[in-house]
Chains A and B, each alone.
Chain A
Amino acid sequence: MRKPLYGLMAEFATPEQLIEATEKVHSEGYRKVDAYSPLPIEELHHSMHLPDSKLPRFVFFGGLAGGLGGFGLLQWISQVAYPLNIGGRPLNSWVSFIPITFELTVLLAGLTTFATLIAMCGLPLPYHPVFNVPRFKLASSERFFLVIESEDPRFDLVRTREFLNTLHPHEVSEVES
């Protein structure tokens, strides 16, 4: 029995072709679409009409927690838990707390970025259907790919393939799920 189809994959030779294709795919009404590229392409964000990432919000609150936590920790240590007279300086020596506060802000912001990004990307992901297409390994080196998933309400094996062929791809292949 034939396995159900994950979608149709079009292969392009240049990033410009991929950007143009994603734009046309979007205006054609397809929404379950993903693009694969060996290098970051900033314009894809616009041509695919992706919403702005929510990542900065998480990072902001991670950094805020780090900063307040770091400063609070130092205040608690030096005023409550273990007050020490160091060279006659006040217990609230906020100037000398700046480096730790700064470091913890950066640390927690960084860790939040890492953890949130992993979670938002759905990693770890041991299996993905796109790798069933042998030529997809070129997505890591020199080729640009566009996949329209079969879940898309407008997906139709024959008509979608015809449409993808009008975008001048190098090749259109079926992706088994």
Chain B
Amino acid sequence: MTEAMRPYLDKMQTRALIVGVVGLIATAVAGAAHMDQLLRSYLVGFLLWAGVAIGSVGVLMLHHMVGGGWGVAIRRGLEASTRTLPLIAVLFIPIAAGLHGLYEWSHADVVAKDHILQQKALYLNPTGFYIRAVIYFVIWYLLATRLNALSKRQESEGYWAVRPSLQTVSAPGLLLHTLAVTFAAVDWGMSLEPHWFSTIYGVLFLVNQALSVFAVMIFTMTFLGTREPMKGVVSTQTFHDLGTLMFAFNMLWAYMNVSQLIIMWSANLPEEITWYVKRLNGGWGNVATVLFIFHFGVVFFLLKQRGIKRNPGLLRTVAAWVILMRFVDLLWVIMPAFSHGQENGVPVAHFAIHPTDLTAPIAIGGLWVAFFAFQLKKRSLEPLPLN
């Protein structure tokens, strides 16, 4: 990395680490008496930030396949983000250890009384869950390591020397990555309600991760891009393009969610619709309205405006807003799964926000950003041109 950047990144790392440690302590204090709730909050925080690291692998490979100035600008950031995967793997340990507190299919006595879970036990069992998690992380880690190594080679040998290898890794890599994210989404998120299923769930995670990645990268670029050595490369047009991409992925978020809603609402099948019955009524129903207006509507109108996309300061605010909305969306997707109440035979989700729901994602975010800053410092930030 360039020495001029070091003081800024040092400051970013220290501050994020303080936020992370203070957040962890606050989470431990607030959650000590409510272990189950603590695990749920932790899962939301983990999915939010793991999504950025994992999504970076996908966006990086996408850039190697299609090119474009936006990718040149954020490639170093994406690579640093993929190098945070070891931290994500470590952060996964509490979820693996707390399996029984999160996933009802992990309890043998529950499965023994449930015919559907018995039929699904070949896939939904703790051993399978652990083995698959290891496979996902190995896939992401190997792809990230290979792409980072090729970047290092590009610094000395030039773009044309590594381009074939970049594409040979990225083309099948994107396929593997998509499969890994889909399966991980089923394992970590969808299986919280093991009777329920949706074929678009994995794609939703894929799209949401890319959206988080663009938000985090825009945030990083408004900071790094206005200073050496990226100053010349990150132009107003680059911010415009990144803003447009974030806009497109935000549209995709809405599109996927509405597709799932239309199909399940129209069919109105008992095994499918329960998911929406819990999430479109009561307190969680209000959260759904908030998401529609503030995740989709507000971001749509803000990013429609050329002036905002070309103003790094304003675009950074929108990016921060998108990250916040990603958190609210994850709460809405994950939390109602833990409500098993029924009224007149209709499932009801109890709406509640616990202190740990806020502190756990902030704590994990602090740790992740600190490690991200550390990884940004480890390598050159000099952009790698596509020629």
Contacts and interface: CB of A to CB of B under 8 A. Distances in A.
A99 interface: yes
B266 A96 contact: yes
Contacts of A95: 261-262, 265-266
Interface in A1-56: 52
Interface of A: 52, 87, 89, 95-96, 98-99
B258 interface: yes
B268 A87 contact: yes
A99 B268 contact: no
Given A89-B268, A96-B266, A98-B258, 10 more contacts: A52-B306, A87-B268, A95-B261, A95-B262, A95-B265, A95-B266, A96-B262, A96-B265, A98-B262, A99-B262
Contacts of B265: 95-96
B277 to A, nearest CB: 13
Interface residues of B, number: 7
Most chain B beta carbons < 10 A, residue from A87, A89, A95, A99? A95
A128 B261 CA distance: 54
Interface in B74-94: none
Interface string B232-268: 0000000000000000000000000010011001101
Contacts of A52: 306
Contacts of B258: 98
Nearest to A60: B304
Nearest to B276: A95
Contacts of A89: 268
B255 to A, nearest CB: 9
A110 to B, nearest CB: 16
B356 to A, nearest CB: 34
Contacts of A87: 268
Contacts of A98: 258, 262
A143 B78 CA distance: 41
B332 to A, nearest CB: 17
A99 to B, nearest CB: 7
A62 to B, nearest CB: 14
13 contacts: A52-B306, A87-B268, A89-B268, A95-B261, A95-B262, A95-B265, A95-B266, A96-B262, A96-B265, A96-B266, A98-B258, A98-B262, A99-B262
Contacts of A96: 262, 265-266
B254 to A, nearest CB: 10
Nearest to A88: B268
Contacts of B266: 95-96
Contacts of A99: 262
Contacts of B262: 95-96, 98-99
B372 to A, nearest CB: 33
Contacts of B306: 52
